[in-house]
Amino acid sequence: MSDRSLLEIDNVQTSFRVGDSYYAAVDGVSLNVERNEVLAIVGESGSGKSALAFSIMGLHNSHKTKIEGSIRLNGKDVNHLSTSELNKVRGKDMGMIFQEPLTALNPLKTIKDQITEALDLHTNFSAKQQNERALHLLNEVGIPRADKVMNQYPHELSGGMRQRVVIAIAISCDPSLLIADEPTTALDATIQSQILDLLNELKEEKDSGIILITHDLGVVAEMADRVAVMYAGQVVELADVMSLFKQPKHPYTRSLLSSVPSTQDEKDMLHVIQGVVPSLPKMPRTGCRFKARIPWMADDTHEENPELREVADGHYVRCTCYKHFYFPEEEAEKDVAAHRE
Amino acid sequence: MEQSQQAETMADPQDMDAGKSPPGWRILLTEVLRDKVALFSLLLVVSIMMIVYLVPLFLSQEEIVRVDLFAIHEPPSSEFWLGTDYGGRDVFGQLIIGTRNSLTVGIGVTAVSGMIGIILGVVAGYFGNTVDNIIMRIVDFFFVLPTLLIVIVFIVIVPQYTVWSFIFIMSMFLWMGIARIIRSKALRERELDYIKASRTLGSSHLKIIFTQLMPNLSSIIIVTMTLNLAANIGIESGLSFLGFGFPEETPSLGTLISYATNPTTLEERWWIWVPASILILVLMLSINNVGQALRRAADAKQRRG
């Protein structure tokens, strides 16, 4: 691995206890993030994106979860640290931005108190220095009248401002890794792009890596350097953002992309992927997990034990079913066209 | 909650200028001040407390409980404002000191049982799982015990029987309800992102409990404790009435009322038991009123203002 490498996730399996048995919500995921890089993780609800992020941050309830594999941040395995050791890393080397900025802030504490929480833990700043740093951070994330906002409570701020505060808290100790769990889902479109710009600026400035978890492909196109598409706990396709959007391979990626409403084609109907992500206990553990949702594809197009293979430079795809994949609508259209001729 | 708070800030330009919103305690205060009944009740409770805690500084308990055979069952007069009981003891003096003792027990029991309940409830709710299971099974165990009977037995067998041992014994059997309420609120609160966000910053569990969780439980704690206070004063009086409370040398509201078990006293010597009964009624109603106002303040859905 190069020295730019920041986070290496190797064969991570996160299992939740349901009843008496464990079911893997994240199943053998290997990813790496470099400095000054945005890795986007895309997928439907229930595909294991957040479960993976929580595994990295060590936020899972240890009684109901089993995390196997290695998660190395700056060469240090954070998966097997004790809580107190992990507390030294969290906040300092990695920070997290939550989806819902209102619930991510304590309603009873002023913005200043919430920003200085991490400074209190990880630095030897005096109260005055903490104050200055908090003010500096608020300015950095683009909050106007920062000195006033410092003494306000979360409910007095707008959604965009709150999310900026959440970001300010996450970056307060200059972490090298930022995990943004759907940072713009709760915000409206204009604020979304401002927040994304802000994240981009921070990444450049601090030379940090960002894991961006989202199901918004527009956000991915704008922000990401590389994209990992997750389905049912596995990475089904991993590629840099250009090749993923230009030459999507895996049926799931192609389905996702064709589900995005577009102004260019004149189709009346929006493409819908059949079915839903199977629930944890019902998830098939062998074969291609996406098989049930593309029933028109013949069984022999799938691999028996699908693996992630490099099909082009830096472009990985799981299972062989992508080779012959087609949408039934397209096929029907072709048939109609052939008939006319 | 946020909306109504925001509306309040909007409505009050001074607040806007100051850039400050009403903090939690001020919402509590406004709610109590707006509710005239609750305000009156609060003033009443506070003034009763001031009287019963300040006056005994100038009265001696021994003086009041000393038997005076020449002044048995005297009706109210200028010397004995509320007459005397069967031992010739001044009822007014007993009323003051009795209220003080009853209040001390009520406050003491609320404080001690509250401490136990809050600590166990927060720990059970925050950590969940095994810890929660163990603590809640202990709670269940205490709940099935016949509390009153055990308290009575304890009172009979404890040799050095004082206000403090009474508080301790009562508290041992009255913390479970508080623990349950606090735990259920803590269970819900710990799932919120701000607790997780605090963990992503590297805060320890203890720090999160004290600086993040507890402040957000404060309103429910205040409400529960206030309502419990009224109930605990009632329990003490009930036990004393049954004869398992304090001995006669330590007057309480319950002992005064228990004189009414004598039919002649009940019919002809109203001055012994009526004032104590009215006082206990007023105290419990007032504290309950304040508690209700606090509960409304803590729950935006019930809030009036």
Interface of A to B at Cβ within 8 Å reads 57, 59, 61, 63-64, 83-84, 86-92, 94-96, 98-100, 102-109, 117-118, 121-122, 148, 151-153, 155-156, 166, 169-170, 172
pLDDT of residue B304: 59
**Interface mutation vs chain B, best among A55, A106, A161, most B CBs within 10 Å:** A106
Residue B12 lies in a domain: no
Distance CA A177, CA A74 (A): 10
Chain B residue with the nearest C-alpha to that of A99 = B193
Residue B5 lies in a domain: no
Give which of B279, B259, B253 is closest to B97, Cα–Cα. B253
Contacts of A118 in chain B (CB under 8 A): 201-202
Q: Which of B197, B201, B218 has the CB atom closest to A121's CB atom?
A: B201
In this predicted model, what pLDDT tens digit does every residue of A170-210 receive, in sequence order?
A: 888 889 999 998 888 877 888 888 888 888 988 888 889 99
Distance to chain B for A80, nearest Cα, Å: 16
CB–CB of B202 and A89 under 8 A?
yes
pLDDT of residue A278: 83
Using alpha carbons, list the distances in angstroms from residue B6 to A124, A148, A156, A157, B57: 36, 17, 7, 10, 48
Give the domain extent around A44: 5-224
CB–CB of B200 and A107 under 8 A?
no
pLDDT of residue B149: 87
CB–CB of B21 and A156 under 8 A?
yes
CATH number at residue A44: 3.40.50.300
Q: Which pair of structure tokens corresponds to residue A192?
A: 């979304």
Whether A55 and A121 share a structural domain: yes
Chain A residue with the nearest C-alpha to that of B9 = A156
**Interface mutation vs chain A, best among B2, B187, B200, most A CBs within 10 Å:** B200
Residue A232 lies in a domain: no
Name the packing angle between helices B91-127 and B270-298 (round to 10°).
30
pLDDT of residue B279: 92
Distance to chain B for A28, nearest Cα, Å: 24
Whether A101 and A190 share a structural domain: yes
Distance to chain B for A251, nearest Cα, Å: 34
Distance CA B40, CA A177 (A): 57
Distance CA A197, CA B142 (A): 58
DSSP string over B214-229: HHHHHHHHHHHHHHHH
Residue A115 lies in a domain: yes
Contacts of A81 in chain B (CB under 8 A): none
Residue B287 lies in a domain: yes
Share of chain A above pLDDT 70, in %: 97
Distance to chain B for A285, nearest Cα, Å: 28
CB–CB of B129 and A63 under 8 A?
yes
Q: How many CB pairs under 8 A join A and B?
A: 98
Whether A56 and A102 share a structural domain: yes
Q: Which of A102, A106, A166 has the CB atom closest to B212's CB atom?
A: A106
3-state secondary structure of A2: coil
Whether A82 and A29 share a structural domain: yes
Helix boundaries (H) for A231-327: 241-246, 251-258
Chain B residue with the nearest C-alpha to that of A89 = B202
Contacts of A155 in chain B (CB under 8 A): 1-2, 5-6, 21
Whether A165 and A34 share a structural domain: yes
Q: Is the ipTM of this complex over 0.95?
A: no
pLDDT of residue A177: 92
Distance to chain B for A114, nearest Cα, Å: 9
One-letter identity of residue B181: I
Whether A144 and A273 share a structural domain: no
Q: Which of B21, B196, B215 has the CB atom closest to A59's CB atom?
A: B196
Residue A244 lies in a domain: no
How many C-beta atoms lie closer than 10 Å to residue A263's C-beta? 5
CATH number at residue B64: 1.10.3720.10
pLDDT (average), residues A106-128: 88
Distance to chain B for A57, nearest Cα, Å: 7
Pick the more confident residue, B20 or A19: A19
Q: Which residues pair with A96 in a beta bridge?
A: A179
**Interface mutation vs chain A, best among B201, B216, B221, B222, most A CBs within 10 Å:** B201
In this predicted model, what pLDDT tens digit does every residue of A76-87 receive, in sequence order?
A: 888 888 888 888
pLDDT of residue A179: 93
pLDDT of residue B183: 94
pLDDT of residue B12: 41
Distance CA A172, CA A166 (A): 10
Residue A238 lies in a domain: no
pLDDT of residue B11: 40
Domain end position, chosen among A173, A191, A224: A224
Counted domains in chain B: 1
Mean of all residue pLDDT scores within chain B: 82
CB–CB of A152 and B20 under 8 A?
yes
Residue A236 lies in a domain: no
Which strands form A234-240's sheet, in the order they lie side by side?
A94-97, A177-181, A209-214, A38-42, A226-231, A234-240, A315-318, A308-312
CB–CB of A155 and B6 under 8 A?
yes
Q: Which of A91, A99, A100 has the CB atom closest to B201's CB atom?
A: A91
Q: What angle do CA A66, A68, A69 make, to 5 degrees?
A: 160
Residue-wise over A75-103: b if at least 16 C-beta within 10 A, else e? eeebbebeeeebbebbbbbbbbbbbbbbb
Residue B273 lies in a domain: yes
Whether A203 and A336 share a structural domain: no
Q: Which of B196, B201, B216 has the CB atom closest to A117's CB atom?
A: B201
Domain end position, chosen among A224, A257, A282: A224
- On whether the CB atoms of residues A203 and A38 are closer than 8 A, the answer is yes
Q: Which pair of structure tokens corresponds to residue A40?
A: 């986007």
pLDDT of residue A227: 94
Give which of B276, B249, B257 is closest to B61, Cα–Cα. B249
Counted domains in chain A: 2
CB–CB of B129 and A98 under 8 A?
no
Q: At which residue do the structure tokens 């200085």 appear?
A: A116
Q: Which of B200, B204, B216 has the CB atom closest to A108's CB atom?
A: B216
Listed range (A48-52, A124-128, A268-272) with the worst mean pLDDT: A268-272
**Interface mutation vs chain B, best among A83, A130, A156, most B CBs within 10 Å:** A156
Mean of all residue pLDDT scores within chain A: 86
Give the domain extent around B114: 20-302
DSSP string over B187-212: HHHHTSHHHHHHHHTT--HHHHIIII
| pLDDT less than 50: residues of chain B | 1-20
Whether A131 and A267 share a structural domain: no
Contacts of B205 in chain A (CB under 8 A): 83
Give which of A221, A242, A211 is closest to A38, Cα–Cα. A211
- On whether the CB atoms of residues B81 and B93 are closer than 8 A, the answer is no
Distance CA B195, CA A119 (A): 17
Distance CA A338, CA A326 (A): 17
Q: At which residue do the structure tokens 């809580």 appear?
A: A83
Whether A260 and A329 share a structural domain: yes
Chain A residue with the nearest C-alpha to that of B4 = A155
CB–CB of B202 and A102 under 8 A?
no
